Amino acid sequence: MKAFLMYKDQDFNLEQRLPPNENALIQDLELNTLFNAMACGDRFMFDVVKKAVLGSIHDLDTIRYRQDILRDCLKNPSIIRDIYAIPITALENKKKQWLGLGIFSSFPSAILNESLKMMEMFVDLLKKLRSIADENSHNFESEGFKTFFAMIIRELNDEYFLEIQNHLKELKFRDGVMISAGLGKGNEGSDYVLRKPKNRKRNWVKEIFSQDHPVYTFSISERDEYGARALSELKDRGINLVANALAQSADHIDNFFKMLRIELAFYIGCINLYEQLAQLGEAISFPLPVASNERRHSFIGLYDVCLALTMKQNIVGNEVNADHKDLVMITGANQGGKSTFLRSIGLAQLMMQCGMFVPAENFVANLCSGLFSHYKRKEDPTMKSGKFDEELSRMSSIVDYITPNSMILFNESFAATNEREGSEIARQITNALLEKRIKVFYVTHMYELAHSFYERNMENAIFLRAERKTGGRRTFKLFEGEPMQTSYGEDVYNTVFRTLPTHSLVSI
Amino acid sequence: MMTFQSILFDSNNHHLIDETVEAPVFFNDLNLDQVINAITSGKQDYKLEPFFYDPLHDVETIQYRHEIMQDLENESLMEKIQYFAEKMVIMRRYLALIEKLDFKYHREGWFLEAAGAYSEAVVGLVQGLNHANLRSRGFLALREYMNHYANSDGFTLLLADTKNLQAALSTVKYCVIIKNRTVRVRRYDEEIDYSKEVEKTFEKFKQGAVKDYRARLAIGAGMNHVEAQILDCVARLYPDMFASLDHFCVQHSHFIDEIIRVFDREIQFYVAYLEYITKIKQAGLEFCYPQIATVDKEIYDYEGFDIALATRRISENLPVVCNDFFLKDKERIFVVSGPNQGGKTTFARTFGQLHYLASLGCPVPGKQARLFLGDRIFSHFEKEENIKNLRGKLQDDLIRIYDILERATPNSIIIMNEIFTSTALKDAVFLSKKIIERIIELDLLCVFVTFIDELSSLCEKTVSMVSTVVPENPAVRTYKIVRKSADGLAYAISIAEKYRLTYYQLKGRISP
């Protein structure tokens, strides 16, 4: 029995290795803001959404599979939360009764006893899951949930619950324990196997006397403590496997609940985010993903979800049509929304590739086989090499992993040297990446770099500019436009310095 | 017909190992103690140390051992020998176990197992030897001996009896029914495996691997009186079988052959050494069978290394630096100087180790080697400095050096490492010169590590070797010891090239 709510035919692997650029993406796209909003303070959920968002999937079917499930979730949030409560209850009961350690004994008889108790607890929860399925399955339309509920109703039927009850009764061994064995090395008993007599109806302890086989009997005297212990050890050998089988079954059910918890945690996270964005009045939509070898990127109202969450307000979205483009070069005014735009591109890509909705009214993009970000960094005091060295070394490790049909976001990269050298290196790198079919988003104030690409009149390049209204007020909206020579740094300077009272300037 | 005596000594030059011997005094200085400890560790039961403490003095026996080592480098023969050794270990363990057991059928059961292990050891060894393409005199003689033994009446009977009895006992299957304090024993009658049934019920929940809850119930050498009583009941269920077992134990009470017992220990000298160097070889280092010089002193070793240091470096995944040396004509003495921490001591140790290992008849580090079989190796490494008593220390050192020079002959080898470092320079130069003059006079092979440059060009017998550094950055050692220092080349490339980020480099790096 598998939940299969993340993939049609496999478990979600919480232990999966995240891509090597995980930390760069978290930092550059401010992903923790997104994860926190989704997790609402739940550390476990944080971990799950982090793995889900960063562990991009690369097939369209799985993305659509999750999108459909998520649509069901957004429609039935309270039922989803009811189901989610079941594994949580299992977890809490385990914490209470078993200190969260599970079955922890080295004696088979104790293991068997504990397993019996735990199994009884699980059976109650399974029954609860069954009744939710009975009552609500008709409200769900996605393939994932339909299959899930059908499985619950089919596998956890009344007959099956009866079978379990019978075992739980039998395993208390009221009639004694029967064990078969052979002779191992040194004539020591071996291969102990717990046996169930062939005919259950008669009392088999008596029955064996009636057969032709000889039977030899001995007893341990009341005072023989050592003998009694030896006898119970022998019994332990006999029930070792069945204790193991029951304990492992309890673990498997536990794991079923754990997996259910993990997979639902992702969707609960999505519901949480949805509710918060709805409160801010922000639109969301389910993106239309296309294959990674196509080149699509067109959207309406794409906003930076992290900025919206941080500012707690509605954010201006961008509308761009970059279909059939491999290079998107963004220039223009400082604080004109270039970084925000770049981040919104990265965030939307990750959200789309884990099956989530995206922060846009409308969004179409091709999948990418890997998302990479290369942002300029503040000087690191522990770093021995210079800043430019550091940038190049970071780029080099990206190149170690990047493959065709990947997407890379450059933010003011390679500007830690003079503009001529920086542009030349950036040009070489960008050219090579484009030829390897890697989609490049490049935010830069290096005019020489942007201009040189612009002059080439490439069909597969688009140039966006941060808008600047007269009077220096920015709209934080980008529009298509030729790179221009200044970055309006003066404006920013003026804004900053004007807002500060003069005496504080002195004290700085 | 060759008569097989020992795998360590050819029968003409047979001598008994002195089992009480201690490690030679230079072991510590040359780090050979580490090497031999590593070689013998895990094989303590064989007490192999005496074999490694006893260098050979005749080329003939060295040759005898080389042949055996070379045969053993054939993996399939080695596997057979390992198999034989494992079975013999098991046999001994079982026999030792019996001494501690209380119940008759329990003891007899283990005795049968011991005989079984021994039979398998012998049969496996004979097979292995017969299939191997043997060249060594030692193994050929052993093969003849083993075939003779395996076909003897005593062994063929042991083999047959063991097999029959083991086969019979393995068919025993019984049921034990425990209720409260009463135990019933009877034959097994096709009852259902209940654990499987329970497992089947819960099968649908199976997801991935879970914890193994099977208790580690003391398996093996143990039987309490309850189990013994059960076994007695089983014996009554199968009376004929247990009567045969009684008979077997009386008839085959002494089943081990003495020559085989000795071989089992002695062959481990080779096995242990080869196992040890295999790990080093896997790191890409080479070993070779040295030619042995006994009269002239033209020696060489190419791509040699300190075997103790190599072991440590390999375990830490660090590279190992190899060094070459040769002496020809009248050359006798390597005077090693140059920057500290540059591998001078390592070179000295390597030289000593190579000669000692060669004298055991073992392959030595290097691609190709010719080494001298001397009468003794002497080493003098400065002891930990003791500031309080410099004069006393100098005196001690001189006494030890005097002692060495007194006992050394032209056939000895001396390793002198950094002597007189804490003595006044004038004294150090004076004393060192005196000592090296003595050594020159003795015409023996020597490595003389010193900080005093002028010793390196005293006469035609000395060869100057220098530890080297990277020329552009003298702080970086190469750990190469060369006959003269060599110049390196600095290089400067553009910063992007350094990170392999130029257009052309990138095109090559991103695939496809």
Coil, strand or helix at B245: helix
Please tell me the distance from the alpha carbon of residue A51 to that of residue A266, in angstroms, as a whole number: 9
CB contact under 8 A, A215 and B186: yes
Opening angle at CA A68, ends A64 and A74, nearest 5: 140
Task: Quick: pLDDT tens for B408-427.
Answer: 999 999 999 877 765 555 67
CA distances from B91 to B117, B221, B255, B419 (A): 5, 14, 11, 53
Q: B425 CA to chain A: closest CA distance, Å?
A: 41
CA distances from B363 to B67, B287, B386 (A): 11, 6, 39
- Locate B312 and state its tokens: 């440590």
Residue B66 or A253, more confident: B66
pLDDT at A461 over 80: yes
Instruction: Give backbone dihedrals phi and psi of A183, rounded to 5 degrees, phi first.
Output: -100, 125
**ipTM passes above 0.90:** no
CB contact under 8 A, A399 and B510: yes
Least confident of B83-87, B129-133, B338-342, B432-436: B338-342
pLDDT at B62 over 90: yes
Instruction: Give backbone dihedrals phi and psi of A29, rounded to 5 degrees, phi first.
Output: -95, 5
Q: To probe the interface with B, which of A185, A391, A438 has the most B CB atoms within 10 Å?
A: A185
Residues of B in contact with A216 (CB under 8 A): 184-186, 233, 236-237
Q: A350 CA to chain B: closest CA distance, Å?
A: 23
CB contact under 8 A, A155 and B106: no
- Locate A154 and state its tokens: 């089919």
Q: To probe the interface with A, which of B120, B190, B200, B213 has the most A CB atoms within 10 Å?
A: B213
Q: Please, which contacts does A420-425 make with residues 24 or more away whose CB atoms are closer than 8 Å?
A: A420/A448, A422/A446, A422/A449, A423/A448, A423/A449, A423/A452, A425/A392, A425/B496, A425/B501
Task: Quick: pLDDT tens for A79-133.
Answer: 999 999 999 999 999 888 876 666 667 788 889 989 999 999 999 999 999 999 9
Residues of A in contact with B226 (CB under 8 A): 220, 227, 230-231, 234
CB A234 within 8 A of CB B227: yes
Residue A232 or A48, more confident: A48
Residues of B in contact with A123 (CB under 8 A): none
Average pLDDT of the residues in B72-100: 94
CB contact under 8 A, B213 and A244: yes
Least confident of A13-22, A355-364, B88-97, B408-417: A13-22
Q: A78 CA to chain B: closest CA distance, Å?
A: 26
CB contact under 8 A, A240 and B217: yes
Closest by CA to A260, choosing from A89, A53, A496, is: A89
| Closest A-chain CA to B502 | A428
| Percent of chain B residues topping a pLDDT of 70 | 89
pLDDT at A503 over 70: no
CB contact under 8 A, A183 and B109: yes
Q: Which of B192, B223, B236 sits opposite A216 (nearest CB)?
A: B236
Least confident of A288-292, B120-124, B292-296, B497-501: B497-501
Please tell me the distance from the alpha carbon of residue A359 to that of residue A361, in angstroms, as a whole number: 7
CB contact under 8 A, B189 and A213: yes
CB contact under 8 A, B215 and A111: yes
pLDDT at A493 over 60: no
CB contact under 8 A, A183 and B226: no
Q: Which of B179, B207, B211 sits opposite A259 (nearest CB)?
A: B207
CB contact under 8 A, B217 and A429: no
Q: Which of B185, B227, B507 sits opposite A435 (nearest CB)?
A: B507
Please tell me the distance from the alpha carbon of residue B357 to that of residue A105, in angstroms, as a whole number: 53
Q: Tell me, what's the pLDDT at A484? A: 80
The count of CB pairs under 8 A between chains A and B is: 271
CB contact under 8 A, A186 and B180: no
Average pLDDT of the residues in A143-171: 91
CB contact under 8 A, A245 and B174: no
Q: Which of B213, B229, B501 sits opposite A396 (nearest CB)?
A: B501
> The whole model's pTM is what?
0.58
Residues of B in contact with A421 (CB under 8 A): none
Q: Tell me, what's the pLDDT at A137? A: 93
Q: Tell me, what's the pLDDT at B401? A: 85
Residues of A in contact with B178 (CB under 8 A): 176-177, 179, 231, 234-235, 238
Q: B238 CA to chain A: closest CA distance, Å?
A: 11
| Closest A-chain CA to B510 | A403
Cis-peptide into B512, omega within 30 deg: yes
CB A449 within 8 A of CB A423: yes
Task: Quick: pLDDT tens for B273-314.
Answer: 999 999 999 999 999 999 999 999 999 999 999 999 999 999
| Closest A-chain CA to B206 | A252
Average pLDDT of the residues in A198-225: 71
Average pLDDT of the residues in A8-12: 93
Least confident of A46-55, B216-225, B286-295, B373-382: B216-225
Average pLDDT of the residues in B133-158: 95
Task: Quick: pLDDT tens for B206-226.
Answer: 777 778 888 776 554 578 899
Closest by CA to A328, choosing from A467, A465, A475, A469, is: A465
pLDDT at A474 over 80: no
Task: Quick: pLDDT tens for B462-501.
Answer: 888 887 766 545 445 678 888 763 232 222 234 677 788 8
Residues of B in contact with A435 (CB under 8 A): 507
CB contact under 8 A, A435 and B194: no
| Percent of chain A residues topping a pLDDT of 70 | 86
Q: How confident is the model at residue B156 (pLDDT cuts 50, 70, 90)?
A: very high
Task: Quick: pLDDT tens for B164-193.
Answer: 999 999 999 999 999 888 999 999 988 889
Residues of A in contact with B231 (CB under 8 A): 187, 189
| Percent of chain A residues topping a pLDDT of 90 | 57
pLDDT at B391 over 90: no
Least confident of A15-24, A368-377, B491-500: B491-500
Residues of B in contact with A181 (CB under 8 A): 173-176
| Signed CA dihedral, A445, A448, A449, A450: sign only | positive
Residues of B in contact with A176 (CB under 8 A): 177-180
Q: Tell me, what's the pLDDT at B1? A: 46
CB contact under 8 A, B176 and A176: no
CB contact under 8 A, A198 and B178: no
Q: For A455, what's the count of Cα atoms within 13 Å in the CB-facing half-sphere?
A: 8
